Every structure is written in C-alpha cells, then in structure tokens.
Amino acid sequence: MAKRSKPEPSVFDETCSARHALELIAGKWPMLILSALAESPMRHGALMRRVGGVSQKMLTQTLRDLERNGLITRQDHQCVPPHVEYELSALGGTLAGALIELDRWAEHNFPQLDAARERFDAAQRRSKRRP
Amino acid sequence: MAKRSKPEPSVFDETCSARHALELIAGKWPMLILSALAESPMRHGALMRRVGGVSQKMLTQTLRDLERNGLITRQDHQCVPPHVEYELSALGGTLAGALIELDRWAEHNFPQLDAARERFDAAQRRSKRRP
C-alpha cells in the first residue's frame, strides 16, 4: 500500500472529527432521544414522558447538541400557544437503524447480563473467602 | 390486545433492566473497547494503544464492567511473565455489528456534522447581532 500523508478518519483517534461525531451519540440520552424521534416527531413534553428519567435540563441540552450537529431539526410553528416539534433530519435518520438495533439488543439480552453479573459477583465473593 | 400484568421490557423505562443493559454500552469507552475487541482479542497494553485517549484507570474499569456483565472474557494464561487477554464473549459478539455500524457512520458522516455546527453557530451569531 502506498504511504498516505493523511490517515483515514478513525473513531479510535481521539484527535479525529470522526471521534467527536461518535462521542456526540455515544451516551444514553442522545441514543434514547434519537431512538424516540425515530418513532415520530415529538414535542419537548412528549419526549420528557417517553424518555424515562431524563431531566428538563439534560433533554434541552441534548436536543440543542443534536440540532447543532444537524441530527435533528427544530420546527417552531410560530403560533400561540407555542408549538415546537423536534424530528430526525435526513442525516439523523441514517443513524436510526443501528440505534434501534442496540435498543432491541438490550431489551432482548438483559436477562443474560443480569445472570452474568450474578455469576461474576458470586465468584468474587468465593475468591475473597479463600484463606 | 389483552391487558398485560407486566409491561414489555423497554429501554425507555428507567426502572427496567433493559435500560441498565443499554446504559452499560452507551458510552464512548465501552463502545470503542467493544469495537476494538471485535477486530481481535487484545491485551491491556494493545487496547491502550488502539483506543486513543483512554486512561489506564478508565480502561481497567470498563473492561471489568464488560466482563462482569458477560460481554467480554478475560483469559489469564497463567504464565510468567503474565499474559492476560480480553476477547468478546458470544453475547458481546452479537453487539459488534451495530457498534461497528456506528463507528463507520461517524467516520463517514463527520464532515456533515462539522458543517452543521458551523451553520448553527453562524446563525446564532447573526441572531445575536440583530437590534
């Protein structure tokens, strides 16, 4: 292979913009909010109800980060009372498949994780009891 | 549909074990470490070099969490000098596809995110300048 003056973008390289892109989505709040918006466009209040445990502040901040990076759009219908809706952008939509796959993975496999933790913790206790 | 006494597991429900399973993987370090191990089994030192920016402490703690939850296995070859290797478990392997898809997504799309941020910030500056 010929020498390259510039390496390929890689999420493993902390100085690469690809890493920043991964970091933007690699968290429970962005992942859950994007998954929720993959179901349908939603208002702030509906997202608060859908994404269990998210705070007002965290939701507002995450929506802003996702909007700033072009993954969602904020539609202000400019009416009284205010009607603001968030939806996935075309770019955000390209993420939906992988995120939903991770959600389904978690919903399907959590019993195996729970069982593994029990086994691990029991083994730890046994090794501590050893003389 | 018949009434269910127990709701379906959902990552949107903060009290559900499925949410805990998602939270375990929803972070840059678990996602990058699992992606790296999807390439090949690795020792601690090789993972440190592969996953740019990870600290000793964070790598050790994340490997332990992933092992505890059954997503990776730790092979201690019981020799001198010590040779300990980490690899994806069968369960961890079922995650690899979606995680690698997210990595490729970031590496492919980061220029669009960078451009969106520039547009967003420029629009913010313009709206602040308005009298």
B17 in contact with A, Cβ within 8 Å: yes
Cα A60 to Cα A45, A47, A105, distances in angstroms: 11, 10, 27
Nearest residue in A to B113, CA atom: A69
pLDDT tens, position by position, B76-93: 988 988 899 999 999 999
Q: Report the alpha-carbon distance of residue A58 to residue A75 in Å, rounded.
A: 20
pLDDT tens, position by position, A48-64: 999 999 999 999 999 99
Dihedrals phi, psi of B24, to nearest 5 degrees:
-60, -35
A22 in contact with B, Cβ within 8 Å: yes
Q: Note whether A16 and B36 are within 8 A (CB).
A: no
- What domains can be seen in chain A, in order of their start residue? 17-95 (1.10.10.10)
Chain A contacts in chain B segment 57-76 (CB below 8 A):
67-71
pLDDT tens, position by position, B44-87: 999 999 999 999 999 999 999 999 999 999 999 889 888 999 99
Q: How confident is the model at residue B3 (pLDDT cuts 50, 70, 90)?
A: low
Q: Across the interface, do A117 and B71 touch by the CB < 8 Å criterion? A: no
For chain A, the straight-line distance linking the first and the last C-alpha, in angstroms and rounded, comes to 57
List per-block mean pLDDT (blocks of 10 residues) for chain A, which spans 131 residues: 73 97 98 98 97 98 98 93 94 97 98 98 89 63
Chain A contacts in chain B segment 77-116 (CB below 8 A):
91, 94-95, 97-99, 101-103, 105-107, 109-116
- ipTM of this predicted structure: 0.91
Task: Give this prediction's pTM.
Answer: 0.92
